[in-house]
Amino acid sequence: MSFRVDFNAQLTVIETPTVGTADVQKPQVRHDAFNRAVTQKNTDTPPASIDSSQTLTGTQTIDLTALPTVNGIVDCTGKKVRYLQIKNRSTNTGKLAIGPGAANPYSMFGAGISKDLQLDGHQLERFGDGLAAVAAGAKTILITPNNVADVFDIQLVLG
């Protein structure tokens, strides 16, 4: 099996000052110093080899030992979350929270820490090799939207 992740985190701002200098009239300034592009494959160290992309509704507990993928349900025990992408749709009623599950919590942002994603928000995270491996006592992620009818999109990459 071949597997490749292309991670591109980009925020570019082009700014035109209201005044120029004597020799340059209103120069454009490009702010893009923090942009990052990474390619990671299943043969790399650390590897990336499992993708789960889902559209879900309401409060969800994602069990990383029974993760839906295009290859069926996969047990990710011993793997680490490498990437997270989550989108809170603009048609929802408010923010959603993402964090460790209630039972056997998997902590992506620190022990017991959840993050709120505002309405129409989009979060993209690259964790590298910094998170714990999935295990019996560290395997669930909890997504809690504002309303049980709210829909969100989530993508997890593990390896």
**Tens digits of residue pLDDT in 115-154:** 999 999 999 999 989 999 999 999 999 999 999 999 999 9
The pTM for the full model equals 0.86
Contacts of residue 42, Cβ cutoff 8 Å, sequence gap at least 6:
1, 2, 3, 4, 48, 49, 159
Assigned domain for 137 exists: yes
Q: Evaluate whether residue 35 is within a structural domain.
A: no
Integer Cα distance of 92 and 89 in angstroms: 6
Q: Which residues of 17-48 are buried (b: 16+ CB within 10 A; e: fewer)?
A: eeeeeeeeeeeeeeeeeeeeeeebeeeeeebb
* Number of domain units in the chain: 1
Tokens of 45: 């160290």
| CATH code where residue 115 lies | 2.60.120
Quote the radius of gyration of the chain (alpha carbons, Å): 19
Whether 143 maps to a domain, the answer reads: yes
> Could you tell me the residue range of the domain that residue 49 belongs to?
45-158
SS3 state at 120: coil
In this structure, are residues 143 and 66 in contact, taking their beta carbons and an 8 Å threshold?
Answer: no
Is 17 within a domain?
A: no
Q: Is residue 5 situated within a structural domain? A: no
Instruction: Kindly report, residue by residue over 58-96, the tens digit of the pLDDT.
Output: 999 999 999 999 989 999 999 999 999 999 999 999 999
Q: How far apart are CA 6 and CA 41, in angstroms?
A: 9
